[in-house]
Structure 1
Amino acid sequence: MAPRFGIATAPMQVSYPDILRVWEEADAIPEIEHAWLFDHLMPIGGDPGGPTFEGWSLLSALAARTGRLRLGLLVTSNRFRPPAMLAKIAATVDIVSGGRLEFGIGAGSRPDHPLARREYEAHGLPFHDAAHAVGSLAEACTLIRRLWTDTEPFDFEGEYHRLKGAFCNPKPVQRPAPPIVIGGRSTATLRVVAEHADVWNFPGDDLSAAIRRGAVLDRFCAEIGRDPGAIARSLVLPVSYDDPSRTRDAIAGAVDAGFSHLVLSLSAPYPDKVAHWVAEELIS
């Protein structure tokens, strides 16, 4: 399978026109098939008091200003929004985009990242332990897919989520539902990936670790009778503007290892015509 290339623009320490310029440029370049934001409420790098845009609001704006790119968040924190509300937000973005959403979701920030951890207290959000976060994620994936596909209201009584008369209207454009991209590397999260994901995103660019975790995912798929090949593999690779050969080598290694969705992460400030440079220097 030929790899699908995308770009990622972290929406922190930048302006809206900065990101819009890159996305509109990439939208006109066929070699770049998808584009991504992240889901943090405060910076996780650079000036801790600098600007950070809310991911889903920004994604909807960019969806309205582009016409071809597949788009999403790598990945939504399931800790930030109740799943029924998230399903509604995502359905709206899929409609705004004309059916181009890739629905990225994960358990949420790891507890040992202090700059990510602080955003929960700053926004009045609870920060439960990892077991709670992964259990909540599994239920959220079930609920969200049902909200996108069920034609009648339903009740749900889970360990982490309880809904009464749940219903989503309008539905997403994509049928039966937008692809679900689950990000994570823990053993517990990989079990959720095996059950629910269309695409698995390994967080980070450590290829050897990604290969090892991919083997664990393959085993979990086998245990539940799912073809591991039904889950595409995604990896984020940082782009070196000064040494593109290093990025090209990383791309080659990822492709050889079976990663078919490659997301090239662009650091700010973005050079002029950076999307064209990516297509010519890294993809072609």
Structure 2
Amino acid sequence: MPRPSFGIMTAPSQVDYQEVLRVWREADTIPQIEHAWLFDHLMPIFGDPAGSAYEGWTLLSALAAQTQRLRLGVMVTSNRFRPPAMLAKIATTVDIVSNGRLDFGIGAGSRPSWPQAQREYEAHGLPFHDAAYAVGSLAEACTVIRRLWTEGEPFDFDGTYHKLTGAFGNPKPVQRPHPPILIGGRSSATLRVVAEHADIWNIPGGDIEDVICRSALLDRYCAEIGRDPASITRSIHLSVSYDEPGVTQDAIGEATDAGFQHIVLGLSAPYPADVARWVADKLIA
């Protein structure tokens, strides 16, 4: 089995921009750390509800301009926040700023049962449809975004959830045919979208037996549409314990044993000094 790739996640909430920038610049100098991620929330979902929360894609573009090597992305973009054609344009811009280092992360958006997340939609005047609507919209969004990245002529799109007239994307992303598409989620409905559209599938860590079952379900959905399940890289987000690194090391071992080859290590703020070096030495090595 190939060596897994390791990355870090710095949630851009309850933390200053300069602190996030410090960690990303440090990680950019450490070859064992291959990718770095932000999340996509407009208001805090943990800690002080009146605390800071940066807009993920704007911050990602700034960090892309301040790094040279790391692959980078948002894990994962809420498809509920931005129309797909606008999101395709934003992502293209980041891919160009980063000179082709974007991994495009997207998902259906926050669960309706999670009040801490739902309030950000109400606070920003955004609609919050049910889960079935969100997943259907995600599938159409993936189609629209890929077409905007790859097609050379304007097109119309008459979907159930999205309708575009004369849609066209210029410039195109640096990466051809397009940046890798990472879809995050664990529901059965989302996994069907993953099977059809994703290059990488990400799931939050937790109960490893459930993670393994979800991966097997994705295999089944791939088989149903004639896709090789091995063509989708398995990715997992694992929270890092600074005080008990052995707990994180064990979780990494379980994930890699289960076939997950794209490991995202979630760092909580405040970030210790030289935290990226610590991650490389204590968790990756």
Which category describes the TM-score, using the shorter chain as reference length? over 0.9
Give the Cα separation in 2 of the matches to 1:51 and 1:260: 32
Q: Residue 45 in 1 paired to residue 46 in 2? A: yes
CA RMSD of the aligned region, Å?
Answer: 0.6
Letter aligned with residue 79 of structure 2: N
Match of 1:119 in 2: 120
Alpha-carbon distance, 1:208 to partner: 1.5
Match of 1:129 in 2: 130
Letter aligned with residue 133 of structure 1: A
TM-score scaled by length of structure 1: 0.99
Give the Cα separation in 2 of the matches to 1:35 and 1:205: 20
Letter aligned with residue 209 of structure 1: D
Q: Residue 234 in 1 paired to residue 235 in 2? A: yes
Give the Cα separation in 2 of the matches to 1:157 and 1:36: 33
- Checking the alignment, whether the CA contact within 8 Å between 1:205 and 1:236 is kept in structure 2 is no
Letter aligned with residue 184 of structure 1: G
Alpha-carbon distance, 1:205 to partner: 2.9
* Secondary structure of residue in 1 paired with 2:129: coil
Give the Cα separation in 2 of the matches to 1:194 and 1:2: 23
Give the Cα separation in 2 of the matches to 1:228 and 1:148: 24
Match of 1:92 in 2: 93
Letter aligned with residue 264 of structure 1: L
Give the Cα separation in 2 of the matches to 1:207 and 1:54: 31
Alpha-carbon distance, 1:178 to partner: 0.2
Alpha-carbon distance, 1:209 to partner: 1.1
Alpha-carbon distance, 1:245 to partner: 1.0
Give the Cα separation in 1 of the matches to 2:47 and 2:205: 18
TM-score scaled by length of structure 2: 0.99
Match of 2:188 in 1: 187
Match of 1:106 in 2: 107
Match of 2:169 in 1: 168
Could you list the per-position Cα deviations for residues 170-206 of structure 1 after superposition, in whole angstroms to 9, with x for gaps in the alignment?
0000000000000011111000000000000013433
Match of 2:12 in 1: 11
- Checking the alignment, whether the CA contact within 8 Å between 1:24 and 1:65 is kept in structure 2 is yes
Which residues of 2 match residues 137-216 of structure 1 at below 5 A?
137-216=138-217
Alpha-carbon distance, 1:151 to partner: 0.4
Alpha-carbon distance, 1:3 to partner: 0.3
Give the Cα separation in 2 of the matches to 1:13 and 1:269: 9
Give the Cα separation in 2 of the matches to 1:130 and 1:243: 36
Could you list the per-position Cα deviations for residues 195-228 of structure 1 after superposition, in whole angstroms to 9, with x for gaps in the alignment?
0000000134332211111111000000000000
- Checking the alignment, whether the CA contact within 8 Å between 1:7 and 1:34 is kept in structure 2 is yes
Letter aligned with residue 42 of structure 2: L
Letter aligned with residue 138 of structure 2: L
Match of 1:251 in 2: 252
- Checking the alignment, whether the CA contact within 8 Å between 2:35 and 2:72 is kept in structure 1 is yes
Give the total of aligned pairs: 284
Unaligned runs of 5+ in 1: none
Give the Cα separation in 2 of the matches to 1:203 and 1:81: 23
Alpha-carbon distance, 1:112 to partner: 1.0
Alpha-carbon distance, 1:134 to partner: 0.3
Give the Cα separation in 1 of the matches to 2:167 and 2:104: 20
Percent identity between matched residues is 74
Q: Residue 278 in 1 paired to residue 279 in 2? A: yes
* Secondary structure of residue in 2 paired with 1:13: coil
Unaligned runs of 5+ in 2: none
* Secondary structure of residue in 2 paired with 1:263: strand
Match of 2:226 in 1: 225
Q: After the TM superposition, which parts of structure 1 deviate over 3 Å for at least 4 consecutive aligned residues?
A: none
- Checking the alignment, whether the CA contact within 8 Å between 2:26 and 2:276 is kept in structure 1 is yes
Which residues of 2 match residues 20-39 of structure 1 at below 5 A?
20-39=21-40
- Checking the alignment, whether the CA contact within 8 Å between 1:182 and 1:197 is kept in structure 2 is yes
